[in-house]
Each structure stands twice: as C-alpha cells, then as structure tokens.
Amino acid sequence: MTNASDVSKGQAIRHHGAVCLVLETQHRTPGNLRAFVQMTLRNLKTGRSSVERFGSSDKVELVNVTRRKCEYSYREGKDYVFMDPDSYESIPVPEELVGKAKDFLTENQTVDLLFTDETVAAVELPPTVTLKVIRSPEGVRGDSATNVMKVAELETGLSVQVPLFIKEGERIKISTTEGKYLSRA
C-alpha cells in the first residue's frame, strides 16, 4: 500500500477490485480546499478509461505489472498468438483482451504485453503502425481545391479516411490512439 500522491504514470493499482493502469496523474490543490490526486485509469479487463479522485494521503494498492516485448504471430480460433522472441514461447491471448488492437495487428509486429500474476492483462500497441492499403477508390479530378478525403480499406480490415492521392498498394502510417491517417510510410 502506498499514498495516492506517490503513484505515477505507467504503474498499476487495484481499484474497486479491478487492476487498472495509471494513464495520467495530476496533483491538485484548489484554493483553500484539501489537496487531491486526479488519476486517469484504464481498467485492464474491460479496457474502459475513467477519471478518479483520491485524497493525497489515501492508500492505494500497487499491483506488480511486467512488460514483455512480443511479436504477433497468427490467429487461432478466438485467440491471438504472440511469441516471446527471447524464449520462443507461444502466448495465446483471448480476443476480449486484444480488443481494438486487432485492427492494427500484422504478422511479426512487435507489441508490449502487460502481465499481472503471470497472466496477460493487456496488449499495448506502439503509437503508430504502418499498414498497406488494400482497397481505395480513385479520387475524382477537380476535388483537390479543399482537403478532400476518401475511405481506404487496410490489410487488417480497418477503414480510414485518407487523402485523394493515396493509391492501392501504398503503405501508410496510422495513429493507434486515434485510428487516423498520419502520412505515407
């Protein structure tokens, strides 16, 4: 157990019986009121984020979380199979834990797996990924006066808005946090 004011970004705590990853912390002292710590927490089971307030001296339980870099290998039934490049161990992860990350996973892509008590708790993607455009309709001439976008389907099945000059077969960078086009790769 530790004080809420000692918790920092990237740590995990047990909140209302669930393991939550701390995405952001802010220590606040509003006027002449008591100080508090505001944390943005992501529940590792449900994937939902929430903002919670704790008194500066409130006790919270820290949970030991380990990160391992693993490569995505393949999908088997409802499980996504990752491989630890150091031990060559196959790690099956249920579809519910992979969540929205499945829209950005390609073979041999490196991701962080978060483990609590030797079980996978979450899949963390890098901030950007490079994906291939599979299907994209041709842009219409004359539409270039403004920043006109079109829908492109990527190799993972994800559809994103891209500029008119993007063609089929090109590789583009996508933000994994917003799911938006960033640039050509």
**Residue from 179, 151, 177 nearest 166 by CA:** 151
Superfamily of domain 66-124: Nucleic acid-binding proteins (2.40.50.140)
Phi, psi dihedral angles at 169 (to 5 degrees): 90, -15
Can you give the pLDDT at residue 150?
Answer: 86
Region of poorest pLDDT, from 20-24, 66-70, 89-93, 114-118? 114-118
128-184: what fold? OB fold (Dihydrolipoamide Acetyltransferase, E2P) (2.40.50)
Q: How far, CA to CA in Å, does 140 sit from each of 4, 135, 162?
A: 56, 16, 14
Give the integer Cα–Cα distance in Å for 24 and 56.
15
3-state class percentages of the chain: helix first, strand second, coil last, to nearest 5: 10, 55, 35
Phi, psi dihedral angles at 179 (to 5 degrees): 70, 30
Domain boundaries, the chain: 2-63, 66-124, 128-184
Q: Give me the architecture of the 2-63 domain, per CATH.
A: Roll (2.30)
Give the integer Cα–Cα distance in Å for 155 and 168.
11
Give residue-wise pLDDT tens across range 114-164.
888 777 878 888 899 999 999 888 866 665 566 778 889 999 888 999 888
